Amino acid sequence: MPEPSVLAALVSGLRSGAIEVVDLTSPLSSSTPVIQLPPQFGQTAVFELEEISRYDDRGPAWYWNNFRSGEHTGTHFDAPNHWVTGKDLTDVASVPARRLIAPAAVLDFTAEVAENPDFLVEIDHVKAWEAENGPLPEGGWLLLRTGWDARSESQEAFLNADENGPHTPGLSAEAARWVAEEAPVIGLGVETVGTDAGGAHSFDPAYPCHSYLMGSDKYGLTQLRNLAALPPTGSVVIAGPLPIVTGSGAPARVLALVERS
């Protein structure tokens, strides 16, 4: 008998449960937390549905809606042209489809963030993870598990802001530069509202994850959840943003494939 094809083996694994599909996406609704910038800047839209018809005289056999949303509302994909450093690079519709399916490394900092919501991941933290788990995956994602998804039902708890601004974890400026310029990954995924730490407005440069990653033709995934269901290595992420022509990003359904013994 011929050996089963790779795709047939994948389908068999999905059917048997040997490969689990983990949804990393936060449900999108009017209560989904959104980033808040200082009032002098433009603001993203809260997700809204406008009913067109619902089995009534506007359309007797069908239900559908218009929706309004910011590109960077909810679980979303940051394209390089989102930031000024990548303004001449790829829009979200031009991201090569092959880059939307990639392996992932999951680094767990939930204990550190529980003690300090402003916790910053440094290069040495990543190097220590690599010493235990092997190198970051070539062409893959670096995902930061911080436990922040537990706050996703509350705008106030999710942004965790006071008079000094938001307090959320992320990468240090040095780690952001390293991930963008030296690490073999294609992007960074986080559970928080954006790829940068809450205090990144005062880093040098400001918002270094956006500045360095977008300028290096890399990507961001934000407001992920269920990273606790992923192993440190071995999972495969499927990120499906809307292909908005000239768009700087888009809401995305993000899934992970995990092999279970």
Angle, vertex CA 216, rays to CA 100 and CA 247, nearest 5: 55
Exposed, middle or buried by CB within 10 Å (0-12, 13-18, 19+), for 19?
middle
Question: What single-letter DSSP state applies at residue 164?
Answer: T
* 238 and 254 Cβ atoms separated by less than 8 Å: yes
> What number of other Cβ atoms are within 10 A of residue 205's Cβ?
14
* 232 and 224 Cβ atoms separated by less than 8 Å: no
In angstroms, rounded to a whole number, what is the distance separating the alpha carbons of residues 201 and 100? 29
Please report how many Cα atoms fall inside a 13 Å half-sphere around the Cα of residue 27, on the Cβ side: 4
The 10 Å CB-count burial string (b at 16+, else e) for 227-239 is: beebebbebbbeb
82 is catalytic: yes
* Active-site choice (76, 82, 125, 210): 82
Active-site positions? 82
